[in-house]
Amino acid sequence: MGILLTRDVCKTFGVNKALDSVNIDVPEGSIYGLLGPNGAGKTTLLRIINQILAPDSGEIYFRGSKLKADDIRKIGYLPEERGLYKKMKVGEQAIYLARLKGLSRHDSLRKLKYWFEKFEMQDWWDKKIEELSKGMQQKVQFITTILHDPELLIFDEPFSGFDPINVNVLKKEILELKSKGSTIIFSTHNMISVEELCDFITLINKSRCILNGQTDEIRSSYKTGTFEIQFSGNPDIFTKVLNSNFQLQNIKTNHTLHTATIKIAGISSDNELLNLIIPHIHIVSYREVLPGMNEVFISVVEKAG
């Protein structure tokens, strides 16, 4: 059993079923992606874990025991919706939120000073929240989410409102938190971020879990027999030596090097492909192209209907 386990969690709002027997098992020390289309039930599940909502049925376990009110202090939750008081000053609000998580004023100030300097936010301290951009507000909430060193961090669309530079800054911090032992549940629509960050994923569609497992294993299970070959030599050789079992999809040229993408059909193998081309070109690199999580996401959701 991981640090967090949900067992057959169900939730209904009126006639709408938000969650239908949802099971996730989050390994300690991992980054766990919670994926799904809009309205699939992801945020509802996160709110139940944070005891903002109660499930209609099912159980949630934290470190092997049923989740209880005191466990919330061990969890840091960054919601997609901003929860800051717009008229309060940034520093005043950051201290207030830190105190709610059990930190003393002294420890709050010490830790906030570290993070505000790290994110180059010192000049924001006396500004009101309403004066900040969406991305700046998200940085403030990110800091107040992690400030009390929670054992479990939950980020719901944490990159919303950020430019690419700040997205990379936040990704680096998330990986650093993991390296220090934090367990992270990460809900996002950005599949590139899933590939970069997530060790495991669960895909929810129409209130039900339809796919879960290790990210790399899932990508591998949906592979299409596509290979990428970087080589020097005459690129025309592919059209001469390949038989009907090998489909040349494209060739790109960069100076003296070429990159060919080839899809293997039927029962043919990559060894057979190499035997055909090695006598004619010099191979610089050779790799199987796994589908991206975006391709897997679309394929699984469309198949589920």
**CATH number (domain holding residue 185):** 3.40.50.300
**Domain-embedded: residue 77:** yes
Sorted by sequence, the CB contacts under 8 Å of residue 209 that are 6+ apart come out as 22, 23, 24, 202, 203
Backbone angles phi, psi at 169, to 5 degrees: -60, -45
Residues 90-103: what's their mean pLDDT?
92
**pLDDT recorded at residue 103:** 92
Through-space distance between the first and last CA atoms of the chain, rounded to whole angstroms: 31
* Claim to verify: residue 105 and residue 170 sit in the same structural domain: yes
Quick: pLDDT tens for 138-154. 899 999 999 999 999 99
* Claim to verify: residue 56 and residue 146 sit in the same structural domain: yes
**pLDDT recorded at residue 267:** 78
More confident residue, 1 or 268: 268
Residue 8 · residue 23 · CB < 8 Å: yes
**pLDDT recorded at residue 175:** 95
**pLDDT recorded at residue 85:** 86
The whole-chain average pLDDT of the chain stands at: 92
**Domain-embedded: residue 74:** yes
* Claim to verify: residue 27 and residue 142 sit in the same structural domain: yes
Residue 107 · residue 136 · CB < 8 Å: no
**Domain-embedded: residue 123:** yes
| DSSP conformation class of 52 | S
The model's confidence at residue 18, banded by pLDDT at 50, 70 and 90, is: very high
**Domain-embedded: residue 142:** yes
The model's confidence at residue 59, banded by pLDDT at 50, 70 and 90, is: very high
Backbone angles phi, psi at 292, to 5 degrees: -75, 160
Strand locations in the chain (E): 4-13, 16-26, 31-35, 57-62, 65-66, 75-78, 152-156, 183-187, 200-205, 208-214, 226-232, 246-254, 257-264, 282-288
Sorted by sequence, the CB contacts under 8 Å of residue 28 that are 6+ apart come out as 2, 3, 183
Sorted by sequence, the CB contacts under 8 Å of residue 213 that are 6+ apart come out as 200, 201
* Claim to verify: residue 105 and residue 246 sit in the same structural domain: no
Residue 239 · residue 233 · CB < 8 Å: no
Best CA proximity match to 284, nearest among 254, 264, 248, 249? 254
**CATH assignment of the domain containing 254:** 3.30.70
Sorted by sequence, the CB contacts under 8 Å of residue 222 that are 6+ apart come out as 290, 291, 295, 296, 299
The number of C-alpha atoms within 13 Å of 150 and in the hemisphere containing its C-beta is: 28
In DSSP terms, 78 is beta-bridged to 155
Residue 71 has pLDDT above 90, yes or no: yes
**Domain-embedded: residue 294:** no
**pLDDT recorded at residue 81:** 77
* Claim to verify: residue 247 and residue 139 sit in the same structural domain: no
| DSSP conformation class of 103 | -
Residue 82 has pLDDT above 80, yes or no: no
The model's confidence at residue 133, banded by pLDDT at 50, 70 and 90, is: confident
* Claim to verify: residue 138 and residue 242 sit in the same structural domain: no
* Claim to verify: residue 231 and residue 191 sit in the same structural domain: no
Query: What is the biggest distance separating any 2 CA atoms in the chain, rounded to whole angstroms?
Result: 74
Residue 4 has pLDDT above 80, yes or no: yes
Pairing of strands 75-78, 152-156: parallel
**pLDDT recorded at residue 290:** 92
* Claim to verify: residue 150 and residue 22 sit in the same structural domain: yes
* Claim to verify: residue 123 and residue 257 sit in the same structural domain: no
**Domain-embedded: residue 297:** no
Strand, coil or helix: 188: coil
> How many domains does one find in the chain?
2
Q: Domain span at residue 175?
A: 4-220
**pLDDT recorded at residue 39:** 87
**pLDDT recorded at residue 256:** 85
Residue 72 · residue 150 · CB < 8 Å: no
* Claim to verify: residue 9 and residue 123 sit in the same structural domain: yes
The model's confidence at residue 305, banded by pLDDT at 50, 70 and 90, is: confident
**Domain-embedded: residue 301:** no
* Claim to verify: residue 245 and residue 120 sit in the same structural domain: no
Residue 244 has pLDDT above 90, yes or no: no
* Claim to verify: residue 197 and residue 156 sit in the same structural domain: yes
Residues 73-77: what's their mean pLDDT?
93
**pLDDT recorded at residue 265:** 86
Residue 69 · residue 54 · CB < 8 Å: no
